[in-house]
Amino acid sequence: MDAIQAGAQPGPAVKDHRFSVMIWTLKSRGSFEQNLERVAKAGYRYVELIGESLRWSDAETAHMLARMDALGISVDATSGLVPGFADPAATATYPEKLKEFAQAAQRVRCKRLILFSGKRVQGMSDQDHQRVSIETLKRAADVLEQTGTNAVLEPIDRLENPPIWMDTVEQAFEIVEAVASPRIKVLYDLYHEQRTHGNLIEKLQKNIHSVGLIHVADVPGRHEPGTGEIHYANIYRKLGELKYDGMIAMEFYPTGEIVESLRGARLEASQAIQLRR
């Protein structure tokens, strides 16, 4: 990332803007509880999970909630639902599995679910994958409404996950538009999109109304902004222009000291967004 202003001190966070950390990226550097403490020390109030809480006992859940309460941390979003919504073999059972997943997420007071398409089905066209996705997610929208839960659809690049079907936000935006539920939006992961598709800002500008969550990491390496090729200062400024007020989650491997890296990423993003509001 370029310097926002040479020698300038980072400004305060944008009013009502929220930043989160995808905590799995820190797991090689410490325990879950140690990383919660680091996230809080870096000035964040939210974390995102990849289903860790699904494996917790009732006692472990109570303990973790108490620890998060003490640190002022909440769970913003979690993934962990299997199967994917593009799999025709799962269409009939998907709503019930989604309901169970939503209820499990609510054990940690999480009201946002991250959903994936699942693998491509051999012999099935992109059009049929999309049709199945729309049909399944229209039924899923009813479950989300009943449970008071929201969902975001996350494309994954095929360098990381070769068998995946939905690998670009363009597919996700088309699906969300067709489903037409306020409960379902797109998770715009800038790292995944840059790796195999690029054109990040134009797609963001055209579809900002359908963006429910943004994930941040630089390319290559999945490290903090400024270590790779993505011009995050420009992206943040555009988010400010577009009045984006949703969550921005850091999903990178810090190259240095964790708290310093996370704090710096948050402050740089906050300042750049604020400059263009």
What residues are labeled active site?
Answer: 154, 251
Beta strands in 61-193 (DSSP E): 74-78, 112-115, 150-153, 184-189
* 168-179 as b/e: b if 16+ CB within 10 A: bbbbbbbbbeeb
Q: Are 53 and 77 in contact (CB under 8 A)?
A: no
Orientation angle between helical segments 94-106 and 126-147, nearest 10 degrees: 50
Q: How many helices (H) and strands (E) does the chain have?
A: 9, 8
Beta strands in 93-251 (DSSP E): 112-115, 150-153, 184-189, 211-216, 247-250
Q: Distance between CA 63 and CA 88 in Å, rounded?
A: 39
**Which residues are 114's β-sheet partners?**
152
Rg of the chain over Cα atoms, rounded to whole angstroms, equals 18
Nearest to 260 by CA among 229, 214, 226: 226
Q: Are 194 and 215 in contact (CB under 8 A)?
A: no
Q: Distance between CA 224 and CA 252 in Å, rounded?
A: 6
